Amino acid sequence: PGWLLSPDGRPFLDSILQKNQRRVFGLLERPVLPPTLAAPTVTYKLFLSGKSGVGKTALVAMLAGTPVPPVHHETLGIEATTVYWPAKLRTSGRPLIFQLHFWD
């Protein structure tokens, strides 16, 4: 569980942080790692659906490290947010990076 804070995991965590806050990546951007630490990227598209006002947009904002909207307003259309998260597999011990595309 503490792999990201260990010396082995710290470069992966630093690649997604900027000034100790989660970095917001654009559509064509991704975390940059040294070639010796290259890790495969696993991509998932997550579609959030539900009733109005239950907190879907607030959940995505919290996971993306962006400010949570203080007041409720309906999301017009679909809002896409990309979140990167490094992890280390228990079975193989190999690090990989999850690329999560949230569609809200």
Note down the domain range covering 97: 3-103
pLDDT in tens, 49-91: 989 888 888 899 888 888 887 887 888 888 888 999 999 988 8
The pLDDT of residue 47 is above 90: yes
Q: pTM to 2 decimals?
A: 0.81
The pLDDT of residue 8 is above 80: yes
Q: What is the end-to-end Cα distance of the chain in Å, rounded?
A: 29
95-103, strands of its sheet edge to edge: 41-47, 95-103, 80-88
CB-based contacts of 65: which residues, under 8 Å, 6+ apart? 21, 22, 23, 24, 83
Identify the residue with better confidence: 12 or 73: 12
**How far apart, in whole angstroms, are the C-alpha atoms of residue 86 and residue 95?**
7
**How far apart, in whole angstroms, are the C-alpha atoms of residue 94 and residue 62?**
27
- When divided into structural domains, the chain yields a total of 1
